[in-house]
Structure 1
Amino acid sequence: MSSDVTTDRVRCGVAGVGSLGQHHARIYASLPGVQFAGVYEENDARAAEICGRFGCRRFATLAELGEACDAVSVVVPTDKHAAVALPLLAAGCHLLIEKPICASLADAERVLAAAQAAGVLVQVGHIEHFNPVMGFLEKEVAEPRFITTERLAPFTPRGTEVGVVLDLMIHDIGIVLELVKSPLVKLDSVGVSVLSKTEDIANARLQFANGCVANLSTSRMSLKKVREIRVFQSSAYLSFDFMNQTGHLVRKSGMLSYAAQLMAGAVKPGDLTAMPVEEIPLQKGEPLALELAHFVESVAQVRQPKVGGALGKTALEVAIAITDQIRSGQP
């Protein structure tokens, strides 16, 4: 079909309705301005379940899905992204491809070249960029000097077609790249495999040209879920929880006042109740719903999305560099 949207509503579909794809289907079915055309899913039982739940059509081939849609979410395992995306791009569909954009840089380049040739948009599903936490950080973080991130999850077989860096850490890679906005000049990484054939736990230290250092830790062997970030800059210290969409900051002026009180004996050492911590009230929202609404709006207005193919490819480059360094054991 044409890459131009010719109806009042954007016709959307989903390729792959597993544990995450089902939520793409759910949101498309409820978004105003969207006509939810249907899904492509190889599992018969799963396809019947989703089509019954949302009253949509199951398409037998990717070509049929592409013909019926203006825009499609690609929510299949990472190593199948290119194979699914390319036929849809050839059909003239705008795509939201779940992160990472592909399993290899070669595949990513093929996908982006095909999108450019077809004159369509590609948005990459770095969902945390649509988390209200990220919205606040983008406004408040100006000159970060040190960033730490921690992303932990219990083990699940889903996603193990790639290592934990491409599975989980890539979220934080994208976040850090967007906040720092400086070339990466040095990388030190370690990781270990526990249950899967690839690394399940990893740590990476990223040093940027502007002097900022970021330390990223991730694990899919945790007993609990954690998605946290701490940012230190000359004007403030910020600490946020992406999962619960909460956070606080301490401004430099407040820290100076606290230090002065300590020097004067007005407060006791270790009495953090005197520290002027600002709890940040965030307007909470479902990041995936915000992400898909932005995608649909980008398609309708034919404008580049917030997280386009360029950022998706750069995040992939860094993730692959970390993965290669872990597996080679060389800096």
Structure 2
Amino acid sequence: MKKIGVFGACALSRKHIENILKLKDKFELIGFFDPDPILCIECENKFNIKRFASYEDLIHSIDVVDIVSPILPAHDLAELSFKSSKHVFIEKPARYTLEQTKRLMSLSEEANVKVQVGNIERFNPAFLSAFPHMALPMFIEVERISVFDPTQKDFCVIQDLMIHDINIVLKIVPSNVKRITTSGVPIVNGRPDIANVRLEFDNGAVANLTASRIAFKNVQRMRVFQKNRYISIDYGKKTCKVFQLVDKDSSKQAQPFPLNTTFQNKEIQLLEPDIKNSNAIIEELKSFSDSIDNDIEPLTNLADGYRSLTVAMQVINKIEKNVLV
């Protein structure tokens, strides 16, 4: 049983606490730390768990550090954790610089500990059901639109939202990014609140990503096009549909759409993969626990986060340069 502590008492921190308490076969929740006394009282009353007076005391009392809150000095917490040989789960890696991330990679390797970077969409059941159907995507279109969250005002929409989709695109396209085209507009606080990004890859694949946090409703969709197949994912609704071109009657397991074209004996099949009714936070925490127990690399490790952050920083620099002009 691994002793774990949560760093933060914000809304997302509370979701982590709530789900860690459900994983009693994986973790023992020792307590939490947050400098905000009001949030701490609320958290203590809701979950009946111990509040630690300092993050140093909590780190030294646990095996696994779960850094969630955006207001805490996450980089310093991670450094201290590695120096104390603790495994670390880190939310929002896009808030670090490339130099900070590289240093964390070096320290974690030296300490021989596991580090998982939070990306809840990698564990979204809709994405998990779609992923086995992806093979050499050549065109990807992503929309991630949300209502404005004033707590994220210190970060641009790339760091806040699009970083999730950059990570997924880099996961499913087996090639290097060769060209980035961007457009973005600051609306609320001087940092881009809406952005469109086109990523072109060495193998000819293209990804078109749009992110906005100035909207009245949330939209989280991805469409993936590849040879003889089109995949549609709705992260919010947790749905997935796969349309594929096949020989007629090649399978009776999917709904067919006959084609009246020059293709001979072909039809389009609609597959609706089974989607597990799962909790993405629980799945990513379970995955992290398994990586520690089995001494394997986490699915979303620091190297993975560093590559995503490298592309994200290029995007941010290009957008801010254009805005200044």
**Same-fold call, TM > 0.5?**
yes
Q: Do the aligned partners of 1:128 and 1:287 also contact (CA within 8 Å) in 2?
A: yes
Change (3 A) 1:30 1:116: same
Identity %: 31
Aligned residue type for 2:17: A
For residues 298 and 43 of structure 2, the distance between their equivalents in structure 1, rounded to whole angstroms, comes to 28
SS in structure 1 of the partner of residue 135 of structure 2: coil
SS in structure 2 of the partner of residue 109 of structure 1: helix
The residue number in structure 1 matching 2:55 is 62
Q: 1:13 aligns with which of 1, 5, 27?
A: 5
The residue number in structure 2 matching 1:72 is 65
CA deviation profile, 1:41-73 (whole Å, cap 9, x unmatched):
001121122122222211122211111111111
Which shifted more, 130-139 or 307-316? 130-139
Q: CA RMSD in A?
A: 2.1
Gaps of 5+ in 2: 249-255
The residue number in structure 1 matching 2:251 is none
Aligned residue type for 1:162: F
Q: Do the aligned partners of 1:150 and 1:217 also contact (CA within 8 Å) in 2?
A: yes
Runs of 4+ more than 6 Å apart: none
The residue number in structure 2 matching 1:24 is 16
Q: Do the aligned partners of 1:99 and 1:312 also contact (CA within 8 Å) in 2?
A: no
The residue number in structure 1 matching 2:209 is 216
Deviation at 1:277, TM superposition (A): 2.8
Alignment of 1:245-264 (within 5 A): 245-253=238-246, 260-261=259-260
Q: 1:298 aligns with which of 281, 291, 298?
A: 291
For residues 79 and 211 of structure 1, the distance between their equivalents in structure 2, rounded to whole angstroms, comes to 41
The residue number in structure 2 matching 1:228 is 221
Q: Do the aligned partners of 2:182 and 2:319 also contact (CA within 8 Å) in 1?
A: yes
Alignment of 1:1-331 (within 5 A): 9-33=1-25, 34-77=27-70, 80-100=73-93, 102-253=95-246, 260-261=259-260, 276-329=269-322
For residues 39 and 127 of structure 2, the distance between their equivalents in structure 1, rounded to whole angstroms, comes to 33
SS in structure 1 of the partner of residue 21 of structure 2: helix
CA deviation profile, 1:1-32 (whole Å, cap 9, x unmatched):
xxxxxxxx110111112011111111112212
SS in structure 1 of the partner of residue 232 of structure 2: strand
Which shifted more, 275-284 or 199-208? 275-284
Deviation at 1:208, TM superposition (A): 0.6
SS in structure 1 of the partner of residue 246 of structure 2: helix
The residue number in structure 1 matching 2:252 is none
CA deviation profile, 1:273-320 (whole Å, cap 9, x unmatched):
x96433333112111111111112222333211111100111111111
Give the length in aligned residue pairs: 312
For residues 58 and 230 of structure 2, the distance between their equivalents in structure 1, rounded to whole angstroms, comes to 48
CA deviation profile, 1:241-299 (whole Å, cap 9, x unmatched):
011110211102279x85743679xxxxxxxxx96433333112111111111112222
Aligned residue type for 1:151: R
SS in structure 1 of the partner of residue 141 of structure 2: strand
The residue number in structure 1 matching 2:253 is none
Change (3 A) 1:22 1:97: same
The residue number in structure 2 matching 1:3 is none
Change (3 A) 1:290 1:258: closer
For residues 296 and 44 of structure 2, the distance between their equivalents in structure 1, rounded to whole angstroms, comes to 31
For residues 259 and 111 of structure 1, the distance between their equivalents in structure 2, rounded to whole angstroms, comes to 54
For residues 154 and 254 of structure 1, the distance between their equivalents in structure 2, rounded to whole angstroms, comes to 44
For residues 63 and 301 of structure 1, the distance between their equivalents in structure 2, rounded to whole angstroms, comes to 28
Aligned residue type for 1:17: A
